[in-house]
Amino acid sequence: MLDVVNVADKLARVHDRWTPRIIADVSGAQVKVVKVEGEFVWHAHADEDELFWVVLGHLEIELRDGSVGLGPGDLVVVPRGVEHRPIAREEVHLVLIEPSGIRHTGDTIDPRTVTEYERL
């Protein structure tokens, strides 16, 4: 039997910011939802690509040599090794697809660093 996941229902259960929650697993990767607002930390993932998919709101991802803006329905893959900083000037709802075991702050340690992801 297949499990159907309603992303909006899962996001409705998230009440904090910058704390991704696992909603599915696929081929060694995890699908996560998260609500964000404000600025995150500059970080990079040496060995992992990271996919950001905006469900609601507008997200800017700063890069050392520019930035990219995303609106509802937009997604972008930040390649491994690229230093970046997500910024949400308003609440943004995201789907993330990233390898299992990735630390969302990369090698940067921050008070918002999650060491164990909750599964919704």
Q: What string of pLDDT tens digits covers the 120 residues of the chain?
A: 899 999 999 999 999 999 999 999 999 999 999 999 999 999 999 999 999 999 999 999 999 999 999 999 999 999 999 999 999 999 999 999 999 988 887 788 888 888 788 899
pLDDT at 88: 98
- At which residue do the structure tokens 């699908």 appear? 31
Query: pTM for the whole thing?
Result: 0.92
Correct CATH for 7-119 of 2.60.120.10, 1.10.1200.10, 1.10.8.100, 3.40.50.1820: 2.60.120.10
- In whole angstroms, what is the distance from residue 72 CA to residue 56 CA? 5
pLDDT for the residue numbered 110: 80
> What's the DSSP call for residue 111?
T
What are the extents of the domains in the chain? Answer: 7-119
